[in-house]
Amino acid sequence: MNLAIIKPLEKKEHKIVWLEINTPKGNFIIAKGHAPMIITLTPNTYLTFEMENGKSVSAIIPRGIAHITRKSVKVILDT
């Protein structure tokens, strides 16, 4: 599954197995085949994902949204 983290001046892409996001509606684990959605992320919370090589990555993110399809996730941050 593809993950793109997009900031105003930067874009990073990763091949991932799963992604955990925090939203006002609760936490979601996203994996390949997940139902498509666009959702607001809870500001200043962790975005955690596992890369295909088995390495887990966590980072605090500012405000943003996630666009989820069955094969990819775009996390769009405003800062």
d(CA 20, CA 71): 15
Looking at CATH, the fold of the domain delimited by 2-77 is given as ATP Synthase; domain 1 (2.60.15)
List all residues 6 or more positions away from 10 whose beta carbon is below 8 Å from its beta carbon. Answer: none
User: For the whole model, what pTM was predicted?
Assistant: 0.92
Output the CA–CA distances (angstroms, integers) from residue 27 to 13, 24, 46, 48, 69, in the order listed.
22, 8, 10, 11, 17
- Give residue-wise pLDDT tens across range 2-30: 999 999 999 999 999 999 999 999 999 99
pLDDT in tens, 40-75: 999 999 999 999 999 999 999 999 999 999 999 999
